[in-house]
Amino acid sequence: MSREQRGPNEKLGTVLALAGISNAGLARRVNDLGAQRGLTLRYDKTSVARWVSKGMVPQGAAPHLIAAAIGQKLGRPVPLHEIGLADADPAPEVGLAFPRDVGQAVKSATELYRLDLAGRRAGSGGIWQSLAGSFAVSAYATPASRWLITPADSSVAREVNSAEGSGAPLKVGHSDVQKLREAAEDARRWDSKYGGGDWRSSMVPECLRVEAAPLLLGAYSDEVGRALFGASAELTRLAGWMAFDTGQQEAAQRYYIQALRLARAAADVPLGGYVLASMSLQATYRGFGDEGVDLAQAALERNRGLATARTMSFFRLVEARAHARAGDAQAAGAALKAAEGWLERSREGDNDPSWLGFYSYDRFAADAAECYRDLKAPRQVRRFTEQALSKPTEEFVRSHGLRLVVSAVAELESGNLDAACEQGVRAVEVAGRISSARTTEYVKDLLHRLEPYGDEPRVVELRERARPLLMAPA
């Protein structure tokens, strides 16, 4: 359905011309974005012509999908007023702000917590709407620069006066913070073992809304506040990581930005670096290698002399992933060498943060293999993948599945079709036990690479085994 404006929508026509998108191209992009969110849309070039020439305004989520589609092509967020659709139902830019003021930072984070990962207001039955903006790597520029300039707030103590709410203000203590840290630890374990889409992992946004938000809006001393912001930042980053793993890139971006702001309030520079590393991995995964390098190097720059050797190793590893995606073999190799050197210098007694518990030489080898996959060096991929798969990974099931797919790609590029299919079958078996859109995408990529061998019996068998996984709802 749509309603009519007065006259042509010249703004939309101008921006479409600027982006180089045809009417048919925009319709296709909008339909595809809607499908990713469970919406069945059937717009065509005639629909777009009506939006432009007659000023028709599509209803529901469509205006926000139009902005998202154009934003993806332009590489930046596109507000509704820029395309002449400001009269559509507003979709606030929830979670994209990185306020300088601590009070505003609390407001920005808690506003995001009121939305679930699908973008519905908590407790409402409405369709996805509020987080419909496109992922735009440029949205990370301001948060990263502000964090680099000032990685810690001067004071975060908060007093609540009676005007802010009825009854006595909630007094926050260390025991409240500990509950959030325990929730984060549980969520990390479930996410690694079952994927970001597992129902136990998906309880993190609910925890942020029900548990973290009231605490952030309560009263606390500077000491308790720092700890509270740190625990909330960990949970918020986890919510972002799980959204990323399930393919909800827009939601992930917003969670990451708020996690970085909370880490600044916590004066926890290594945690802020970890959030930046997560941003870097997302940017790299989305094909923005150069921006991924910038984000990883921002994490490194502020943590020199602060973070543990293991933490610095992980940051250099993330940098290597971005260099490899950008096609810079020399820089990727140098970053990998530095990452391995930092890891060798780490010791059991180091005061490593709890959120780094996943990182070991196995993880280093797995990411190194992915670097060399991107650099099309199958011998190196096989070498590091063998090391990554050398130990059982009952605790990190998703990582094991990803490593198997990378191993299959290396075998295929080395001309070993049978070995590639064997590893592929094992990967599909693992992927079927978890809920991870990212793992499914890896499997799809492998099957795409196997298309030239589509009539081979082993390939046919693998494709059949993968069919239930690929047909499962996102």
Instruction: Tell me the pLDDT tens digit for each residue of 259-295.
Output: 999 999 999 999 999 999 999 999 999 999 999 999 9
**Inside any domain, residue 335:** no
Q: What is the spatial distance between Cα 275 and Cα 153, in angstroms, rounded to a whole number?
A: 17
Polymer length in residues for the chain: 474
Mean pLDDT along residues 4-8: 68
**Inside any domain, residue 113:** no
Number of domains in the chain: 2
pLDDT, position 129 = 42
Q: What is the pLDDT of residues 299-312, one digit of tens each?
A: 999 999 999 999 99
Structural domain range at position 394: 376-474
Q: Answer yes or no: is pLDDT of 342 > 90.
A: yes
Q: What is the spatial distance between Cα 268 and Cα 255, in angstroms, rounded to a whole number?
A: 17
Q: Answer yes or no: is pLDDT of 420 > 80.
A: yes
Tell me what percent of the chain is helix, strand and coil, each rounded to the nearest 5. 65, 5, 30
Handedness of CA 407, 413, 415, 421 (dihedral sign): positive
Alpha-carbon distance values, 164 to 122, 285, 305 (Å) = 22, 42, 41
Q: Which of 49, 83, 117 is the last residue of a domain?
A: 83
Structure tokens at 447: 């099957």
Q: Answer yes or no: is pLDDT of 387 > 90.
A: no
List the alpha helices (DSSP H) in 208-248.
Answer: 213-216, 222-245
Cβ neighbours around 27 below 10 Å, total = 23
Start-to-end CA distance of the chain, whole Å, equals 26
**Inside any domain, residue 382:** yes
Q: What is the pLDDT of residues 323-341, one digit of tens each?
A: 999 999 999 999 999 999 9
Structure tokens at 313: 């190793």
Q: What is the spatial distance between Cα 441 and Cα 355, in angstroms, rounded to a whole number?
A: 26
pLDDT, position 71 = 85
Q: What is the spatial distance between Cα 142 and Cα 92, in angstroms, rounded to a whole number?
A: 18
Residues facing residue 219 across a β-bridge: 171
pLDDT, position 245 = 87
Structure tokens at 133: 């903006």
C-alpha R_g of the chain: 23
280 sits in the region (left: phi over 0; alpha: psi -120 to 50; else beta) called alpha
**Inside any domain, residue 439:** yes
Q: Which of 83, 113, 145 is the last residue of a domain?
A: 83
Q: Which of 41, 67, 83 is the last residue of a domain?
A: 83
**Inside any domain, residue 132:** no
Range picked from 27-41, 259-273, 366-380, 456-470 for highest mean pLDDT: 259-273
pLDDT, position 26 = 94
| CATH number of the domain enclosing 73 | 1.10.260
- Please give the backbone phi and psi of residue 115, each rounded to the nearest 5 degrees, phi first: -110, 140
Q: 210 or 162: whose pLDDT is higher?
A: 210
pTM: 0.78
Q: Are 207 and 236 in contact (CB under 8 A)?
A: no
